[in-house]
Amino acid sequence: MDPDTEKLLEEFFMSKKKYIGIIILAVMILGFVFYWYEFRPSQIKKECFIMAREEAIELLKTKAELSGESFYEDAAEKDLYLKDDLDFRYKNCLREKGL
């Protein structure tokens, strides 16, 4: 083969490798951005809701034991919770996790 042709082929393949590298880097960056701003927050919100719900249910059971009111006792038996307790626990969990 002609040395000029070899040089052209070598430049072509090197530039092709650079483009492939840039594309791979761009896909990795976009994947990280998606994870950080979309997937991670949704997982944290799910975890916080589950935790806040469990804590709100336990808090209502404690309130039922301490107050002795039939309303709280009936609600505690059905695993219900007060919305204010849930909201408070949920927001605190989100703050702890950095959202």
Q: Model confidence over 17-75: pLDDT tens digits?
A: 777 888 899 999 999 999 999 999 999 999 999 999 999 999 999 988 888 888 888 88
Cα 60 to its chain centre, rounded Å, is 28
pTM for the model stands at 0.72
For 30, the token pair is 């976009």
Rg (CA), the chain: 29
